Amino acid sequence: PRYKTVEQILALMKDRTRVRNIGIIAHVDHGKTTTSDQLLASAGIISPKVAGEALALDYLKVEQQRGITVKAANVSLYHEVDNKGYVINLIDTPGHVDFSGRVTRSLRVLDGSIVVVDSVEGVMTQTETVLRQSLEERVRPILFINKVDRLVKELKLGPQEMMQKLLGIIREVNNMIDMYAEPDFKERWKINPNAGNVVFGSAKDKWGFSVPMSQKKGIGMKDVIAAYTAPDKTKLNELAQQVPIDEALLDAVIRFVPDPVEAQKYRIPKIWKGDLDNELAKAMLSADMNGPVVMMITDMKVDPHAGLVATGRVFSGTVRPGQEVWLVNAKTPQRTLQVSLYMGQTRELAEEIPAGNIAAVLGLDKARSGETLLDVRFKDLQGSFERLHYVSEPVVTIAVDPQNPKDLAKMIDALRKLSIEDPNLVVKINEETGEYLLSGMGFLHLEVSLQLLKDNYGIEVKTTPPIVVYRESVRNKSQVFEGKSPNKHNKMYISVEPLNDKTVELIASGTIKENMEPKEMAKTLRDQAGWDYEEGKRIVAFDENLNLFVDMTSGIQHLREVMDTLIQGFRLAMREGPLAHEPVRGLKVVLHDAVIHEDPAHRGPAQLYPAVRNAIFAGFLSARPTLLEPIQKLDIRIPMEFMGNVTAVLSRKRGKILNVVQTENLARIMAEIPISESFELAGELRGATAGRAFWGTEFSRWAPVPDAMLGDTVVKIRERKGLPKELPKVEDFLS
Ligand code: GDP
């Protein structure tokens, strides 16, 4: 290892021709972890503080057990080529498809990737997935063909046959580059053994070489075979000293991965979701250290000593402690506290980190992974690295309960930390039952979170089976219904109707929101969503599930005094609809008239909440009530010949094919499927395609449960919740 001071590393970081940002990507088991470990152990853990400590990059037990990486870790390595020193930031990228959001997010901060392929197994489905994602983000791949020892020990190949096998893998990778790279990059980025952008070796046995390195050092496949057929390990150890794997890989990285200034020229147009002509984009395109700060946060970690640590790439400007920055997603300013750089695995304080580098920042506790951080002076310029969603809508929920009741407080704290590190995980408490509810983006997602809870916090939990969340809504407009308070002294006259799609969109995007100037809101709703202008001016409340409360009354005595109570009554009713106590979504509730008792003692919440609720629910039940179910979008890629099988699986599961694109012998199917049908989907798709399907999923939309299934679905939810099987009727709310 070569030891460096913070100042020396910072000097390299400012030069930027001396910086490389890379990740290692691979099919599971092909050797990503072993390769990372080798780079870490021998290529120079650059902080003197931790010299000698060779900690695994992939340090979580859960990952070792499941063979999937779920957390991103960052390390910086130091390496010299031609007597020049370089900083190589190695960013850990998770490999699993269910976390595709995370993979792409980490890819965004890389400029190059080392694609690891097992020499015996060759290119596998996940190799294709990660390579495709890498190319789609304009991250340049270099190839490491690992486990070459197996060709000798297991397949007993001679030098010629070995070369044939290795060239076959290179050809396959190049075919994929051909298929997935954009025209401008196709030829330039193809793997060429003679140029040196492919390394052959064994991560486990610590040796590796490219063709140019083999020529320079006079080492070839014959030596490899000799090393493995020798009676003892002497020759193998020599090989590892003559052609160490870290040297081979890092040389290739430095020579073939572009430096950040070069890379940002073509990467920003691909990854920046905003105007490319504004000052921010211009500064990023040239990686301008003196421009406004723009940084993408890829990772939030809870450090037991330091608090929340935000890690990400600085794309322009220079990050310093005490800077005021704007968080685009959180829509809030915050001040950076400490700024540090990675040396090996540890963080070292720094005065500044310039564009093109990876920085760790303290003080940004409102940020979450995927956040874009801007110089606060530029907050009004549009743009970020991710497209925004109003609320992430978790669609599967389980209740968790510690095995050991004494662990309750510990569990609550651990869940809170997990949900900070994983923005797709939502923790809530069921106020009636006191149960802790964990919601996520899918079945596997929740499973992995529970494993983390066990491994990192030592907490084992009991869980309920996963539950899909629904929403309640109506399809028609109701008449006006009278809702009475229990004392009969207060009366509400209310109608309900579904909000149109455009209105829902305007609320979801934040275009119309609470506390907006009523005239402006009315105008937007009239012009864009067909609202009556007067009605638009009279919206008095919003709720988180996109419902609106409109007050069309005039001159009602005491209404002003009780309006807050009525709004609260509206919110409570929206939280649990009459069908199955699921949240109501997309409802317009209109108050037309009211009678309110003059004595405050007779018009408290205990009287007014039920009055509001009775009128809303009577209207709701009369207006073709329905359940909305979450629908997932699927992006499936398969070899053509499996098209029929996949279509069959999808149609059995109420899936709908939206679009099919064919490229050469590959079919790409865009489809939608109800989440409630998706639990076994992974297995069935694998079965139907001999394991050759690969896919990504994301939440798509809420859609009405088909009429034929509505009754059954409602009854099942009611049973689960211990509600009477009998559905409430309009009259139940009219007494
Ligand atoms: P990952 O799932 O991609 O992170 O793969 P790992 O690094 O955990 O490696 C998977 C398995 O392959 C482990 O049992 C390693 O010991 C083994 N392995 C890694 N590199 C080599 C190699 O060069 N040769 C052989 N024979 N096995 C290797």
Encode 189-206: b = buried (16+ Cβ within 10 Å), e = exposed.
Answer: bbbebeebbbbbbbbbbb
* pLDDT reported for residue 103: 62
Q: What pLDDT does residue 54 have? A: 34
Ligand 1 atom with the shortest distance to the CA of 35: 7
pLDDT at 298 over 50: yes
Pocket test for ligand 1, best of 25, 34, 153, 249 (most atoms within 8 A of CB): 34
pTM of the predicted protein model: 0.66
Closest among 609, 601, 525, 620 to 570, alpha carbons compared: 609
| Residue 267, ligand 1, Cβ within 6 A | no
Q: Is 409 helix (H, G, I), strand (E, B) or coil?
A: helix
Phi, psi of 168 (to 5 degrees): -60, -45
Of 24, 29, 224, best ligand 1 pocket probe by most atoms within 8 Å of the beta carbon: 29
The secondary structure of 21-89, three-state, reads EEEEEECCCCCHHHHHHHHHHHCCECCHHHCCCCCCCCCCHHHHHHCCCCCCCEEEEEEEECCEEEEEE
CA-nearest residue, atom 25 of ligand 1: 147
Of ligand 1's listed atoms, the one at least distance from the Cα of 68 is 2
pLDDT in tens, 653-695: 999 999 898 866 778 898 999 988 887 787 888 889 887 877 7
- Output the average pLDDT for the chain: 88
Confidence of residue 45 (pLDDT cuts 50, 70, 90): very low
Pair 476, 470: CB distance under 8 Å: no
Q: How much is the average pLDDT of 190-218?
A: 96
Is residue 549 pLDDT above 70, yes or no? yes
The answer to whether 56 touches 13, Cβ cutoff 8 Å, is no
> 124 CB less than 6 Å from ligand 1?
no
- What atom of ligand 1 comes closest to residue 205's alpha carbon? 23
404 vs 413: CA distance, rounded Å: 15
Instruction: Tell me the C-alpha to C-alpha distance, in Å, between residue 491 and each of 549, 591, 732, 735.
Output: 17, 11, 16, 12
Residue 232 has pLDDT above 80, yes or no: yes
Cα 237 to middle of ligand 1, angstroms: 18
Q: Is 45 near ligand 1, meaning CB less than 6 Å away?
A: no
User: Does any ligand 1 atom lie closer than 6 A to the CB of residue 221?
Assistant: no
Residues forming the annotated binding site for GTP? 26-33, 92-96, 146-149
Listed residue (356, 385, 127) closest to 258, CA to CA: 356
ipTM above 0.95, yes or no: yes
Task: Give residue 685's pLDDT.
Answer: 87
CA angle 614, 620, 624 (to 5 degrees): 155
Beta bridge partners of 26: 116
Q: Is the distance from the beta carbon of residue 130 to the nearest atom of ligand 1 less than 6 Å?
A: no
Chain centroid to Cα 666, Å, comes to 26
Binding-site residue numbers are 26-33, 92-96, 146-149
Q: How far is CA 393 from the centre of its chain?
A: 13
Cβ(337) to ligand 1 under 6 A?
no
Bin 156: left if φ > 0, else alpha if -120 < ψ < 50, else beta: left
Nearest CA to ligand 1 atom 14: 29
- Whether the CB of 149 sits within 6 Å of ligand 1: yes
Nearest to 344 by CA among 50, 723, 63, 592: 50
